[in-house]
Structure 1
Amino acid sequence: MGRRRDQEASSSRALAPSGGARDLCTSSGAIPRTFAPQKPDLSNVSPSSLGTKKRSLFVKANFFAIENFNKDIAFHYDVTFNPDKPKKLLRLVWEEIKKIYFPDNIIAFDGVKNAYTMIPIAGGKNEIMEHKIKIPNKNKNRDFEFKVAIKLVARVDLALVDQRCIHILEVVLRSAAAVKYTPVGRSFFSLSKPSIPLMDGLVIRSGLHFSVRQGSDKLYVNFDSIHKAFLKAQPIVDTIREMFSSFSVPPPIERQIFQLRIILKGVKVAYSVPTDSKPRFCTIADVSKPPDQITCEFKGSIITVEEYFKNVKNYSLKYRNLPCLKVGSSAFVPAELCSIVEDQVVQTHLSDKQSGEMIKLAAIDPSERVKKIQAEKAYLDFENSPFAKGFGINMNSEFQEIRGHVLDPPKLAYNEGLVTPENGRWHSDSLFLQSAVLKKWTIFILDRCIEREDADKLASQLIKQGRDMGLTIDKPYPFRSLNTRSGGNIQFFEKELSMCSGFDLVIVVGNNKDNVYTNLKNAADRKLNICTQFIKSTTLRRYKDYSKIIHNIILKLNAKLGGVNHALNKSEVPAKFSNASVVYVGADVTHPSVGEIGSPSVAAVCASHDASGFRYNGQICIQPPKEEIIIDLERIMIHNLNVYEKNMGKKPEIILFFRDGVGEGQFDEVKSKEITAIQRACSKFGPDYNAKITFLVVQKCHHACFFPVEQTTGRNKNVPPGTVVDNTITNPKDREFYLVSHYSPRGCSRPCRYHCLWDDNELSENELQEIVYYQCYTYSRCEQSVSYPAPTYYAHHAAARGKLYLVGDNCRGRSKQFDKQPSCKDKLQELPGMYFI
């Protein structure tokens, strides 16, 4: 994901001719639509009337205005390295080249192959300049030798303040940051600063992230303080000791090997034998068997790795039960002889436990976050760097103050009346708007630590609280205690659950070791179509009073079983929506993490199919790895329209589509492929069918933060739920706004950024912002507004469930087999009910 380039802007203009209806892509069969990517002209509108006319709120944003910069011609050079690896040395090679050949030039380098300067090299001639440089290699006796070719490729007029100008200014800032920080992806970390211990051989480091953003009348630098998990530089034996409480006697079981593989695959280690003097550096390709189970050929004989080190290296292994690490294509070294090299970022997704602990350790209140951003910015000291002076950049030192506004929350309809949320939260004593029926149900107990009395207590409180909230719930069928020590695989759950055919619900209490949750959902959802609710046994043991746990479980169960917890009060919804049949759609694509090389991506689309906009159906499909565009969207949308018509007896007049996970650099592709796919679906759904589409992109992965100017405003010193910023730091060419929709009891509330890419409904700013905000109150799993709209949340859950199904299909990590496996390819699966929540 990246920013839009110049060609994207030009393509947008080509797609939006002046006047009347505009075609998005008529060559692909799209229906002519009213394309509305831009805000209406607000030049004569006062700030107080931007967006909604609710109460105003002044906020500080972590945006710092670029007051001035050199608007002359910048010279762009292409820099080619041979060899072009290792990547981490390229910046060092460039600095050596610059020091020797261009010592007086201020040149910003992006660390890969682009260099920019205001003073031309060699008089601005176009010839290729070639140089050689040597860099010491600590791993080998000989130095690295690089050939570097430099060629002028463009002259960029910075006065245009276009996307190329923004990119150059960003490279200038990154060049200054690289002097004091270590680049890690698009962020920077000061590795000399103390780290915070996490768990499992991990530490937390704080760093800095920034980007140059186009505002309403000037450019801004968005600075943010961030945290990231790093591997602790230590012997791998110590990492294993931190991950597992005991490993010295029994060999690690398969589950532990799997966990080690997730953490260590791709990690750089220093390998050394005590009898040798110099360590060697290598990268872990896999975690294998213990050294007494791996053989190799040595001088015509087959010996084990353990025997090799004892007889050849004169070293007796201390931990013979620990696995060997595969390095290179065929070499194996004992884990006890390897140490993790410092300064390596964790490349895989953190576990739920690790993520929770990291959030707890890294969470700071807004005032502390302001101080931290100021401290990181002061340490960078960009204003006094030679790069700032070389490009004439003058940046404001103060947080940008902005006039925002706060939306009122919607009233929510329950069976016995309306409820008005306060500060993004509510608790209703009223019955559900529509209550589900739970007649046949039981409890499976998988944890021997859970007593029968605990299950009885869980069931009795579930019945009492469920009935209090409106559920029609009968007494459960006899409980069953199951032993998963010998299995717990999909076949095990399929066999046990098959005895519950016709049941409305099976509650499963246990821990999630050995993929129990994954196997349960594969068997229940896909094989038997039985609704299940998994409850961690640790959760029950943690609380003596189950009432709070039960309350949240009942919220989920009512939705899973077809009920409606609550709905928006229609009198407050904009008339265009309250008087029309609307289908709310959320879409997301989840990709494999760095450690899941070749695993497919999973696309998920969830769509409402009732008058309240509460009940959803979900579909998932498998895509090639890292494919962000939803390939099967046309077929999915035809299905969603059919489901809506079947349930409502009529076709939806409006499609409100929330798309998660798309970067600005992908907007044009989304317009030309996904929006046209929706349009084609509508045209195939009926010859005269012409639903009005509003398409919004929901962006969570950004670094904007807002802080109330008045410290008494908002709980926990955060801005209140409903805070909208739609001016000053937003691009005037785009229809975008920021919205903080949730209450944050700790840490700093982070807004979502919304881009409206398409709007047949011609919604006003007021209507658009309110509709988005109100959808954050329709989430079924809690009684509080959430950080982004419910349809998008459901799509996220459905995509995550799809990743679990990949385990059942054995599709993960099989890039070479992806196109050959019918079970993994072109799979479109309907998720039963709202099981995905």
Structure 2
Amino acid sequence: MEVSKRVPMARKEVGSKGEPRQLLANHFGVCLVKPKDDIDGYFYHYDVAMSYEDGNPVEAKGVGRKVLNQVCETYVELRNMSFAYDGEKSLFTLGPLASQRLQYPVVLEDVSSRRVGKNGNPAESPKGGYTKRMRIRHQFRPKTINVDIKYAAKIPLQAIEDALRGRDSEKSQEAVRVLDIILRQHSANQGYLLVRQSFFHDNRRTCTDIGGGVQGCRGFHSSFRVTQGGLSLNMDVTTTMIVKPGPVVDFLLQNQSVQNPNYIDWTKAKRMLKNLRIRANGVEFKISGLSDNTCRNQKFLLRQKGTNGEVQEREITVHDYFTRQKLIGLNYSADMPCINVGKPKRPSYFPIELCEMVSLQRYTKALTNLQRAQLVEKTRQKPQVRRQALEDALRSSRYDDEPMLRSSGITIEPNFVRLVGRVLEPPKLIVGGEKSIIPRNGRWNFNNKKLYEPLMIGRWAIVNFSSRCDTRLLIELIRRCAAAKGMTMSNSLFDKVIEEDGCFIREPPNVRVERMYAKLRTTLPHEKPHFLLCILPEKKNSDIYGPWKKKSLVEEGIVTQCIAPTKINDQYITNVLLKINAKYGGMNSYLSVELCNSIPFVSAVPTLILGMDVSHGSPGRSDVPSIAAVVSSRCWPQISRYRASVRTQSSKVEMIQSLFKPVANTNKDEGIIREVLLDFEITSFKRKPQQIIIFRDGVSESQFNQVLNIELSQIIEACKHLDEKWDPKFTLIIAQKNHHTRFFQANARDQTNVPPGTVIDNTVCHPKNNDFYLCAQAGMIGTTRPTHYHVLHDEIGFSADEVQELVHSLSYTYQRSTTAVSLVAPICYAHLAAAQMAQFMKFDEHSETSSTHGGLTSASAPLVPQLPRLHKQVINSMFFC
């Protein structure tokens, strides 16, 4: 019998616990007045196809709007037509076009160049080779593009009224999508950079330098949302990274942190510059690469007409062409490669000093740790500043002047939506000596208190890769702080600091790690240490980290803690000890309700809690596998102790592929869930979980059905495979941080963030689905970003208050810190486990490796390399903590 498709569950009720609090949300109410009389009450949807004369489709990115604008300028019947175009294949109008199918040929300058020079005349560029040079006069020849506009459907404006009443239907979703496309069209007409529903303008006041030739460009997000309170416009301040405009050489100097062009690594430069856009001689081009030779030596065949009218050919260098033929002086680029803006087989070169980076060009490479820190530091805004910025953005956007919005009768309220939130009481924590702590403002400390389960570490040593760390002071502080927290760091067996020999610091990281372990064995030949404290070089993102963790956790089975101390004090060491104790098997604190077995549903019945996340490689690295991490609770009825299972999978695939993994022609299952269930049985009095609560991070609303019908189904299959008679209940909760709803205190004089524990499940939440926002953390810097939780499936039967309090409590079980965290601890641990295991492999070399275990079945796709299995002595530890 076919199993019916699961859909997100509907909301049964709203919560009532907590102190009511008047709040504002960055949503603006939408009203619908009577549309203009000449409007027939429908949005008309048309499919748009563009092709060249030879029938090949136009695929160059960003060309669609340029072509459609040309159509409207050329043909009278479209000249005064208001439309919304998504930039690709969909066009929307208010009222029908003249015919259900319209075909227009338009003449457009070569789509490879974005702008033309003075008087509309593009500049020439030198080509390599005979046939390439012949193309110079034709490169900018206008091209004919055929535009085919075909009627697809019509969407009633009545659907917007449904959205205004808080009704979410397929038609209302289509109508809201049209409204969002209208906003995009409005911003495109004003010259904004469009990034989905976020818009950025070229304005020096909105750009801030974050180093490496990269700027953070502040803009605003703007989208319509169907909520319990009706249709609203959600606006938020947002930032994207752009390439710093200016000379290409200046960008490379900053990007590679060098002072002199002679020190530029041109191999790195080639990777960095590929597909970026430059301006040369007044024309924009996309970079395809760099020349193999320097400007002084790079040659091409120049064809010119002689005095007798005959075409003459001679070889000339790019340098001589520009200095002698074009009379353009070159000051410093003669011995640098040229910028290639042509095709691989038809190169087209410019000296690098004639090239400038164009403005508003997105930077999509991964940021360094320093750049991330700079971005956070320079773009954060206090709540009151953010409120003012949003009010200014709404005012300056002038949506009331947008023709299609105005014609369809839509108006936007100028004030923030008001709502009532609730502030939940923080959970009571139990620490050493059964002492209780009640967190204040989402924080607590261990001053004059001991850890709940402090451990004695009998054999430990320090390995030191840093030449600047005073290890004597460090050892003294560790022992003193450990004693104060109830931990024992014994010095009876080992009191050793193994220093790296200075002559090896320029060796590759893996070589340095092997040498350090060889020295460790020589220094401590008879007994292996239980724990190693590793002092990394001064920089936090040290290359030593990955090889050291892999060697320790995979091959040696030793618990290890890495530090890169700049300031060593009691607070720093205490924070380090919290991580060490949790990794080594101890517990720093518990929830009081956890120890009293009084968590609704969870304490009464064996319950497994899972945190699941998928981590992807940096943008543009499709060759890097994604990493799926599943952390699972242990030792029920505890909910604060976890282990992790981490696997690689196909690049950029969001659904976890290894939850249930039957082996062909056997009765075996090598999936993550079987591993998790067997561990739960071992640590929970040989009882299977009767309830499984799943927290899933990193998925968008469009992927909810996949999580419900693919991942949850795999988990259920894994359970049935283990025991056919076993039928646990499931609750599935999605956590989202990547959204644009923010909350503010309603009192204008109160410029602080909303207090920790603030929960909202009304007004701006989904009109039908079971969702809520929670600000568990104390927002000390900038404006608090709430976590948006969606309860997609609940067989256990939590009430609204019970599920909200469970989520809130799990934000206080994170063993690494003494603050409530913004996401439930299981998801935070899944992030950490995936990030740490990612350091184990050199993914940039993986395409040359292969694996018969877990590889892709497609013959054309590369095999996905497997992560090494952790040593049996650490596999069940909180190594990721």
TM range (shorter): 0.7 to 0.9
Alpha-carbon distance, 1:121 to partner: 0.3
Q: Is the 8 A contact 1:698 1:753 kept in 2?
A: yes
2:21 aligns with 57
CA distance in 2, matches of 1:234, 1:437: 59
CA 1:756/1:747 → structure 2, altered by over 3 Å: closer, same or farther? same
SS at match of 2:246: coil
> Tell me, what secondary structure is at the counterpart of 2:839?
helix
Structure 1 residues 311-710: aligned runs within 5 Å? 318=332, 328-329=343-344, 338-416=355-433, 417-428=435-446, 429-448=448-467, 450-451=468-469, 454-475=470-491, 477-482=495-500, 483=502, 484-497=504-517, 499=520, 501-512=528-539, 515-536=543-564, 539-540=565-566, 543=567, 545-570=568-593, 571=596, 573-611=598-636, 612-634=638-660, 635-649=671-685, 650-710=687-747
Matched, 1:281 2:281: no
- 1:185-204 correspondence runs (5 A): 185-186=195-196, 187-194=198-205, 195-204=207-216
The amino acid across from 2:763 in the alignment is T
Query: Is residue 275 of structure 2 the alignment partner of residue 266 of structure 1?
Result: yes
2:414 is paired with a residue whose SS is coil
Q: Determine which structure has more spread, i.e. the larger CA radius of gyration.
A: 2
CA distance in 1, matches of 2:584, 2:209: 43
How far off is 1:174 after superposition? 2.0
Quote the Cα distance in structure 1 between the aligned partners of 2:703 and 2:797.
23
Residue 836 of structure 1 corresponds to 880
Q: Amino acid of the residue matched to residue 634 of structure 2? A: H
- Cα distance in 2 for residues equivalent to 1:51 and 1:407: 11
1:79 has 2:48 as partner:
yes
Q: Percent identity?
A: 26
Rate the CA distance shift 1:245–1:663 in 2: closer, same or farther, 3 A. Answer: closer
1:9 — aligned with what?
none
Aligned to 2:663: none
Pairs within 5 Å for 1:221-260: 221-244=233-256, 246-248=258-260, 251-252=263-264, 258=268, 260=269
The question of whether the paired residues in 2 share the 8 Å contact of 1:705 and 1:749 is answered with yes
Secondary structure of the equivalent of 1:79?
strand
> Distance between the aligned counterparts of 2:344 and 2:841, measured in 1?
27
Deviation track 1:180-216 (CA, whole Å, cap 9, x = no partner) reads 2513321111113532222121222211112221111
Structure 1 residue ranges without an equivalent (≥5): 1-13, 16-22, 26-32, 43-49, 272-276, 300-306
1:824 matched to 2:851? The reply is no
2:429 partner amino acid: L
Q: Among residues 791, 799, 818, which one is paired with 1:756 in the alignment?
A: 791
Per-residue CA distance 1:341-360 (angstroms, 9 max, x = gap): 22211102211111111111
Rounded to whole Å, the distance in 2 between the matches of 1:491 and 1:591 is 28
Structure 1 partner of 2:82: 106
Could you say what secondary structure the match of 2:610 adopts?
A: strand
Tell me, in whole angstroms, the C-alpha distance in 1 between the residues paired with 2:319 and 2:656: 55
Deviation at residue 229 of structure 1 after TM alignment = 1.9
Could you list the per-position Cα deviations for residues 556-575 of structure 1 after superposition, in whole angstroms to 9, with x for gaps in the alignment? 11111111111111258532
For the residue of structure 2 that corresponds to 1:426, the secondary structure is coil
What stretches of structure 2 of length at least 5 have no aligned partner? 52-56, 117-121, 123-138, 163-171, 302-315, 324-328, 522-527, 661-670
Q: Could you tell me which of 2, 5, 10 is aligned with 1:38?
A: 10
User: Deviation at 1:375?
Assistant: 0.8
- Give the equivalent residue in structure 2 for 1:147: 146
Return the alpha-carbon distance in structure 1 between the equivalents of residues 575 and 394 of structure 2.
42
Shift of 1:278: 7.1
Check the 8 A contact 1:270/1:339 in 2, yes or no.
Answer: yes
2:251 aligned counterpart, secondary structure:
helix
The offset of 1:730, in angstroms, is 1.3
8 A Cα contact 2:773 2:787, kept in partner: yes
**More displaced, 592-601 or 514-523?**
514-523
1:740 maps to which residue? Answer: 775
More deviation, 478-487/145-154: 478-487
**Secondary structure of 1:628 counterpart:** coil
Q: Report if aligned partners of 1:658, 1:698 keep a CA contact under 8 Å in 2.
A: yes
Kept in 1, the 8 Å contact 2:216–2:242? The answer is yes
Shift in alpha-carbon separation, 1:732–1:54, aligned structure 2, 3 A: same
Q: Is contact 2:674-2:719 (8 Å) kept?
A: yes
Q: Is the 8 A contact 2:191 2:201 kept in 1?
A: yes
**Aligned partners of 1:60 and 1:399 also within 8 Å:** yes
Question: Take 1:648 and 1:280, find their aligned partners in 2: how far apart are those partners?
Answer: 65
Q: Counterparts of 1:295 and 1:459 in 2: how far apart (Å)?
A: 60
2:10 is paired with a residue of what secondary structure? coil
Matching residue's letter, 1:516: I
Any idea what the Cα deviations from partners look like across 1:385-426, whole Å, max 9, x if unmatched?
Answer: 212212221221111001111111100111222110011001
Distance 1:150 1:36 in 2: 36
Indicate conservation of the 8 Å contact 2:243/2:359, yes or no. Answer: yes
- Letter of the 2:694 partner, please give it: F
| Counterpart residue number, 1:118 | 94
TM-score (norm 2): 0.81
**What displacement does 1:321 show?**
8.2
In structure 2, distance between residues paired with 1:805 and 1:336: 41
Distance in 2, Cα, partners of 1:490 & 1:325 = 36
Q: 1:159 to 1:521 in 2, by over 3 A?
A: same
Of 365-374 and 243-252, deviating more is 243-252
**SS class of match (2:544):** helix
* Structure 1 residues 616-665: Cα deviation after superposition (integer angstroms, max 9, x where no partner): 21121111121110011121111111111112222223211110011111
Q: CA 1:280 to 1:704, structure 2 compared with 1: closer, same or farther past 3 Å?
A: closer
The CA RMSD over aligned residues, in Å, is 3.3
Q: For the residues of structure 2 that align with 1:604 and 1:197, how far apart are their CA atoms?
A: 34
**Residues 294-335 of structure 1, C-alpha deviations (whole Å, 9 max, x = no match):** 997878xxxxxxx95567766888478877767653768775
Change (3 A) 1:808 1:206: closer
Within 2, Cα distance between the matches of 1:786 and 1:480? 36
- Cα-to-partner distance string for 1:718-742 (whole Å, 9 max, x where unaligned): 1001111111111232110111110
Alignment CA distance shift 1:309-1:183 (3 Å): closer
CA contact (8 A) 1:598 1:813 kept: no
Residues of 2 paired with 1:584 and 1:150: CA distance? 52
CA distance in 2, matches of 1:491, 1:725: 53
Q: Distance in 1 between matches of 2:868 and 2:509?
A: 24
SS at match of 1:683: helix
Q: Is the alpha carbon distance of 1:816 and 1:433 closer, same or farther for their aligned partners in structure 2, counting shifts above 3 Å?
A: closer
Measure, in 2, the Cα distance between the counterparts of 1:828 and 1:246.
Answer: 37
Q: How does 1:303-314 map to 2 (within 5 A)?
A: none
- Cα distance change of structure 1 residues 102 and 249 upon mapping to structure 2, 3 Å threshold: closer
